[in-house]
Structure 1
Amino acid sequence: MSDKTLTVLVLAVVAFSAAHDLDHLVRDDFSQSGAWAIAAAFLSVKYALTGAALYFYFRGKIGAGFWTVIGVLGAVALWFAHLSPAAEQRPPDISAMYGSPIAGFIASALVYALMLSLAAIALYGGWRAVGAGRRG
């Protein structure tokens, strides 16, 4: 585990993802009937898998290639959920849900920060995975 850049990117993705999930909870996106059960199940699975991925990453069992796939899939999901023209909760919509302009700015900035971290881990992880393949 000698790649400090990859480690920083992994931790950034996890932190921004957790902060974004917390934003969904603060905005009460799960107030519809049955939505809390679905959200609880999804978040339980998500964080169990995140914990397992971190465990195996810090023990050297998974590396750059794995995080490249996570970055690409995460960026695609985030695009459709929040950044595409058809998204129901684009950053300006998220910002408008808060009474405070600062809170709204932080919540919408989290979407962009998460997207940037996912793109960075996809690009850097891919570069490391391809580069490691050539050297090995």
Structure 2
Amino acid sequence: MTAQFIPDVSYADVLFGENAANLKAKGFIENPERYLPEVGLVVLERDSLSVYLRDDAVESISSDAEFWYRDVNLVGADLATATKVLGKADGAPYKVVVDEDQPAQQVYDYEDDGVQLWFAGERVVTVFAMGVAL
């Protein structure tokens, strides 16, 4: 069975609120190049999953390869597919420049599900999931 996102609980074998020691035992490694001290986040990675920890607890999870929710891989999905899965986005999308050499990405928030979808052009390129009750 494909790993599925369970809002406010988990994605794959990663639980929101889980600590770094547990994640490292599951094969995650710390990426010091992606450490975000200005916001107090430590980043652990395994394959295409990035896990963001604050105060040694998983706060958010992202993937740019696959992210399954309600049996749909949101990475690569278009806006119509995302809307079928998540409903209407909360508010208007906003732009984020990830790479100065590339067009800005459009970010859509789905607060009820704790999900952000980052679009490059017409397709989702990254999904962020947040533990909404943390």
What TM-score do the two structures reach when normalised by structure 2? Answer: 0.23
- Larger Cα Rg: Structure 1 or Structure 2? 1
Higher strand share: 2
Q: Which has the higher contact order (CA 8 A, sep 6+)?
A: 1
Length-normalised TM-score, structure 1: 0.23
